Structure 1
Amino acid sequence: MSNGSEHGTPVIDFRGVGLTYPGPPPVTALQPTDLVVHRGEYVTITGPSGSGKSTFLNIAGLVDAPSCGRYLLDGADTTDLSDAGRAGLRGSRIGFVFQSFHLLPHRSALENVVLAMVYNNVPRRLRPGRARDALRRVGLGHRIDATPTTLSGGERQRVAIARALVARPSLLLCDEPTGNLDTATADSVLELLDGLHRDGMTILIITHDPSVADRGGRTLSIRDGRLAEGSPASDLRTAS
Structure 2
Amino acid sequence: MIALHQTELTYPGPPPVAALRPCDLTVHRGDFVTVVGPSGSGKSTFLNIVGLLDAPTGGRCLLDGIDTGRLDDPTRSALRGQRIGFVFQAFHLLPHRTALENVQLALVYRRVPRRMRADRARDALQRVGLGHRIHAFPTTLSGGERQRVAIARALVGRPSLLLCDEPTGNLDTATAAQVLDLLEELNAGGVTVVVITHDPEVARRGTRSLRIRDGVLTDAVVTP
Fold in common (TM above 0.5): yes
Question: Which is worse superposed, 97-106 or 152-161?
Answer: 97-106
* Alignment match, 1:98: 88
* Counterpart residue number, 1:225: 215
Cα deviation for residue 40 of structure 1 reads 0.2
1:120 corresponds to: 110
Cα RMSD for the two superposed structures: 1.2
Q: Distance in 1 between matches of 2:178 and 2:37?
A: 24
Equivalent residue number for residue 35 of structure 2: 45
- Alpha-carbon shift at residue 231 of structure 1 (Å): 4.2
1 CA distance for matches of 2:81 and 2:12?
A: 28
Which blocks of at least 5 consecutive residues in structure 2 are unaligned? none
CA distance in 1, matches of 2:211, 2:15: 26
CA distance in 1, matches of 2:91, 2:163: 13
Partner of 2:5 in structure 1?
A: 15
1:167 lines up with 2:149 in the alignment: no
* Aligned equivalent of 1:204: 194
Structure 1 residue ranges (4+ consecutive) displaced by more than 4 angstroms after TM superposition? none
Letter in 1 for 2:173: T
Q: 1:65–1:146: structure 2 CA closer, same or farther, 3 Å change rule?
A: same
Q: For the Cα contact (< 8 Å) 1:46–1:231, is it kept in 2?
A: no
Paired letter, 2:120? R
Separation in structure 2 between the aligned mates of residue 223 and residue 152 of structure 1, nearest angstrom:
34
The number of residue pairs the alignment matches comes to 224
User: Residues of 2 paired with 1:210 and 1:52: CA distance?
Assistant: 16
What is residue 145 of structure 1 aligned with on the other side?
A: 135
Task: Report the Cα offset of residue 121 of structure 1.
Answer: 3.0
Contact 1:14–1:72 (CA<8 Å) still a contact in 2? yes
Query: More displaced, 110-119 or 154-163?
Result: 110-119
Equivalent-residue separation in structure 2 for 1:36 and 1:203 (angstroms):
13
CA drift at 1:176: 0.7
Partner of 1:66: 56
Distance, in Å, in 1 between the alignment partners of 2:114 and 2:23 is 40
Q: Is the 8 A contact 2:204 2:222 kept in 1?
A: no
Residue 232 of structure 1 deviates from its aligned partner by 5.8
Q: Deviations over 1:10-63 (max 9, x none)?
A: x11111111001111111100011111000000000111111001000111111
TM-score, normalised with respect to structure 2? 0.97
